[in-house]
Chain A
Amino acid sequence: MKKLLTLSLLGLAVAATSAQARDDDQIRIAVDVPYEPMEFRTPDGELTGFDIDLGNAMCAEMKVECEWVVQGWDGIIPGLMARKYDAIMSSMTINDRRRDKVLFSEPYFTPPSAWFAPSTSDLDDATEDSLDGMTIGVQRGTLQDNYVTDMYGNVADVNRYSTADDMVLDMESERLDIVFLDYPVGQSTLLESENRDYKVVGEMLTEPKKYFGDGFGMGFRKRDQDLADKFNQALKTLKDNGTYDDIEARYFDKP
């Protein structure tokens, strides 16, 4: 039995690209694209966005080498636990459900969630009555998904997407009546869209905390408290020296 196990382990080691000792020189950070303006790709494939720039600035501040790993959203936390990478920086909202699995940094950005609909839509409020029979778009496994599924799953159709891009496309083609998104993402993909006019429906939401949590944080494995502390320190420095504001200005219009 032992021999068999050793053999199969050997086989696995050969099959895997890299069997390596854990090392700390390089930090791998997972990100799910596209999620404009937080993280997305240019046509030639280069990663860009608020998270990317801020992450790179923090790594430069810490004088470590960072590598971005692109990972689909629905596998992003299992991938961290599975040590495919060392951190997540992908517009991930800090909430209790995720705290069970993930160690979070201090929040580095705090956006609300908002409802978006075509400006021609009759919807002017998101309630159980007004959403009755509507088709709502959310990204699978996001806090918006959890919120909509629990609150409106019984009265409305919920279409779940792997990426925010897919959702925007179905919104444009009128397959969806309304979507529920992080506000900055809705702002740059819908409100600033050249193809159609959209509006924000109802109030922006940051409560209840059970769903909406405490802003975006970087995620780490529970035992990597040191790494989290280093990033918290770097974030503080960047906020103090103005770099953070520069990056923010690059991607968001100040209201």
Chain B
Amino acid sequence: MQALLDQLDALLANNSIFTLQTLSFYGDGLVTTVQLVFMSLIIGLILAIPLAIGRSSKNGLIKWPIFLYTYVFRGTPLLVQLYLIYYGVVFVEGIQESWLWPVVKDPFVPALVAFTLNTAAYTTEIFRGAIKATPKGEIEAARAYGMSPALTLRRIVLPSAFRRALPAYGNEVIFMLHASAIASVVTLMDLTGAARFVYARFYAPFDAFLFVAAIYLCLTFSILYLFRFLEKRLLAHLQPMT
């Protein structure tokens, strides 16, 4: 314990690691991480809605390709997907000369694509489960009102499925935040990338990684409370009466 206190003292007195330079690395890293996670979640969500509807379809030609996609992306490590996209894209014939190159040259875009495809696969399955769990009575009631299948989907099935999917989706958001740490392996300077830089420069694993762990912890809790709040608001009708 005394050793720990001494170390803390030394850290504060002679702070050679957390200088303005390294703190700005952590700051930029925070921005990169939040951008990457937020953008991939939004795009993934937009992709997942039609995919989930298709995945619940009775038409095999629609259903099975989507199943294959979610099966592969959920069954393999995100790291492997990231490697494939980051290194794979440069082997597309003539890519370096095309207009796309300035876009995919930067590690941010391949990472974004990998993360988006990954989260879209998980989100599709979450929504599919929620759609499947729609009470039959709700659909029958909509039919009885003379709604078309499309209208039923839009007005009845999807809104109630979204609410039911909320807790699972909250987990997915946290999962993505944590998964984004691997962006540092393709040279992106996200939060973890900043920590690895500081570690390699100062040979100080505890300082570098504990600091970044604390930032992630704060982010995780913010997401957690946001979703708790949303659940309270949107799922109020499912709460037990008191």
Direct contact of A and B (CB under 8 A): yes
Taking Cβ atoms with an 8 Å cutoff, the residues of A that contact B are 73-74, 77-78, 81, 101, 140-141, 145-146, 159-162, 166, 169-170, 173-175
Q: Does residue B57 face the partner (Cβ distance < 8 Å to A)?
A: no
Is B105's CB under 8 angstroms from A175's CB?
Answer: yes
Chain A residues with Cβ below 8 Å from B162 are: none
Q: A161-B187, A174-B101 are in contact. List 19 more A-B contacts (CB 8 A).
A: A74-B196, A78-B205, A101-B203, A140-B196, A140-B197, A140-B200, A141-B197, A141-B201, A146-B201, A159-B107, A160-B193, A160-B196, A160-B197, A162-B185, A170-B187, A173-B87, A173-B96, A174-B90, A174-B105
How far apart sit A175 and B96, CA to CA, in the bound complex (Å)?
Answer: 9
* A140-B196, A140-B197, A174-B96 known; A160 vs B187 contact (CB < 8 Å): yes
Chain B residues with Cβ below 8 Å from A162 are: 185
How far apart sit A169 and B83, CA to CA, in the bound complex (Å)?
Answer: 12
Our pick among B87, B101, B200 for the contact of A74 (Cβ within 8 Å) is B200
Chain A residues with Cβ below 8 Å from B18 are: none
Chain A residues with Cβ below 8 Å from B169 are: none
* A101-B203, A140-B197, A160-B187 known; A173 vs B90 contact (CB < 8 Å): yes
Residue of chain A at shortest CB distance from B90:
A173
Is B185's CB under 8 angstroms from A169's CB?
Answer: no
Is B199's CB under 8 angstroms from A74's CB?
Answer: yes
Chain B residues with Cβ below 8 Å from A101 are: 203
Chain A residues with Cβ below 8 Å from B90 are: 173-175
Chain B interface residue bracket vs A: 10 to 19
Q: Which of B101, B185, B203 has the most C-beta atoms of chain A within 10 angstroms of its own C-beta?
A: B203
Residue of chain B at shortest CB distance from A102:
B203
Taking Cβ atoms with an 8 Å cutoff, the residues of B that contact A are 87, 90, 96, 101, 105, 107, 185, 187, 189, 193, 196-197, 199-201, 203, 205
Chain B residues with Cβ below 8 Å from A169 are: 87
B121 CB to closest chain A CB (Å) equals 27
How far apart sit A77 and B205, CA to CA, in the bound complex (Å)?
Answer: 11
Residue of chain B at shortest CB distance from A82:
B205
Residue of chain A at shortest CB distance from B96:
A174
Chain B residues with Cβ below 8 Å from A170 are: 187
Chain B residues with Cβ below 8 Å from A146 are: 201
A226 CB to closest chain B CB (Å) equals 24
Chain B residues with Cβ below 8 Å from A175 are: 90, 105, 107
A103 CB to closest chain B CB (Å) equals 15
Is A78's CB under 8 angstroms from B203's CB?
Answer: yes
- Which 4 A/B pairs are nearest by Cβ-Cβ distance? A141-B200, A173-B90, A74-B200, A159-B187
How far apart sit A42 and B113, CA to CA, in the bound complex (Å)?
Answer: 34
Chain B residues with Cβ below 8 Å from A81 are: 203
How far apart sit A160 and B200, CA to CA, in the bound complex (Å)?
Answer: 11
Chain B residues with Cβ below 8 Å from A73 are: 200
B92 CB to closest chain A CB (Å) equals 10
B102 CB to closest chain A CB (Å) equals 11
B87 CB to closest chain A CB (Å) equals 7
How far apart sit A231 and B189, CA to CA, in the bound complex (Å)?
Answer: 39
Chain B residues with Cβ below 8 Å from A141 are: 197, 200-201
How far apart sit A101 and B189, CA to CA, in the bound complex (Å)?
Answer: 26
How far apart sit A78 and B107, CA to CA, in the bound complex (Å)?
Answer: 29
Chain A residues with Cβ below 8 Å from B193 are: 160
Chain B residues with Cβ below 8 Å from A78 are: 203, 205
